[in-house]
Structure 1
Amino acid sequence: MSKLLLISIKEKYVSRIISGSKTIELRKAQPKVKAGDTVIIYTTQPKKAVTAIATVKQIIKLSPQKMWERYENNLGITQNEFEDYYQNSSTAVGIELCSIIQLDSEILLSAIKMIHPRFTPPQTFKYLDKFQTFRDYKNLSN
């Protein structure tokens, strides 16, 4: 069964993902997803909205040094940013994204909270129940 992964990303990196200059989203922890799973991209402050969806192409798990050596042109960040992020880590996790679609209309956090008042965007990522998400969407559109 495929999963829905909700992931929080800073606006400058989301722009790079949408433009295609960033195809690998970096994390310190590996999400339990596989090729073909869906990623819902939540853009953090100041936008605070779901802005895009993508598909997991693959999960890459390497030492930070090897990640940079092999994929620096796909990471969408500077070497200094990369080194700062992984300074105390022995493992770098990359979520390679494909089939990236920018939503025609962003889904604002305030709109999500109308359906789920206790919803909070994840610090890094969280899993969603796609059947519950579909039911909520149907209820919103009725």
Structure 2
Amino acid sequence: MSRALLLSVRPRFARGLLAGTKTAEVRRRFPEVPEGTTVIIYSSSPEKAILGTMRTRRLVRINTEEIWREYSHAIGIGRAELADYLDGATNSSVLELDNPNLWSRPVGLAELRRQLGVEPAQSFRYLNAKQLSRLQGLARRNADSAPMDLHASVPALR
């Protein structure tokens, strides 16, 4: 694998993705993301942590008016909020995701910065294979360090 996608999402969407109830992410634009790419789920403020990974099924370029009809069941957002987000866009992208993997211990922003020198972008950024490997090592080390109640770090999964 040459690179992974570090995807920044609001905490409620991160929880939905990793719970498997949200299986698609809508963006005004996405670059090409090959099928099978590892997607690292970064939960933005106030959590500010990587919570787990998913895998891309496919990237669909779609007319914004078709998104609700085709993906309302999978995007975890209401029609009005979607319309506000996509206001002014004629075409958008939908990243279909599967294989949610909620990590037993999140990797916080401070650790991400200190250990990998990585700053999450507002929307997304790429990590190379070396950065992904180091991140997975951090996640394993965190998981081994102490038992944790998964619901404590991700309250909406209760």
Q: Counterpart in 2 of 1:58?
A: 58
1:95-132 CA-to-partner distances (Å, cap 9, x unmatched) read: 11100110110000111122245x32111001111124
CA distance in 2: counterparts of 1:26 and 1:41, whole angstroms: 14
Q: Is the 8 A contact 1:3 1:33 kept in 2?
A: no
Counterpart of 1:94, as a letter, is V
Q: Counterpart in 2 of 1:20?
A: 20
Relative distance call for 1:71 and 1:48 in structure 2 (3 A) is: same
TM-score, normalising length: structure 2: 0.81
Q: CA deviation at 1:133?
A: 3.5
Q: Is the 8 A contact 1:9 1:41 kept in 2?
A: yes
TM-score, normalising length: structure 1: 0.89
Where 2:73 maps in the other structure, the secondary structure is: helix
Q: Give the % identical residues.
A: 27
Q: Is the 8 A contact 2:8 2:121 kept in 1?
A: yes
Q: Which runs of 4+ in 1 moved over 3 A?
A: 135-141
1:2-46 CA-to-partner distances (Å, cap 9, x unmatched) read: 530001000011111122221101111123211111000100001
Counterpart of 1:124, as a letter, is S
Structure 1 residue runs without a partner (length 5+): none
Q: Counterpart in 2 of 1:45?
A: 45
CA distance in 2: counterparts of 1:72 and 1:138, whole angstroms: 36
Q: Is the 8 A contact 1:2 1:37 kept in 2?
A: no
Q: CA RMSD in A?
A: 2.0
CA distance in 1: counterparts of 2:102 and 2:138, whole angstroms: 23
Q: Counterpart in 1 of 2:149?
A: none
Q: CA deviation at 1:135?
A: 5.0
Q: Counterpart in 1 of 2:144?
A: none
Structure 2 residue runs without a partner (length 5+): 142-158
Structure 1 residues 80-91: aligned runs within 5 Å: 80-91=80-91
Moved more, 108-117 or 127-136: 127-136
Q: Counterpart in 2 of 1:93?
A: 93
Counterpart of 1:5, as a letter, is L
Counterpart of 1:21, as a letter, is T
* Matched pairs, number: 140
Where 2:84 maps in the other structure, the secondary structure is: helix
CA distance in 2: counterparts of 1:138 and 1:20, whole angstroms: 24
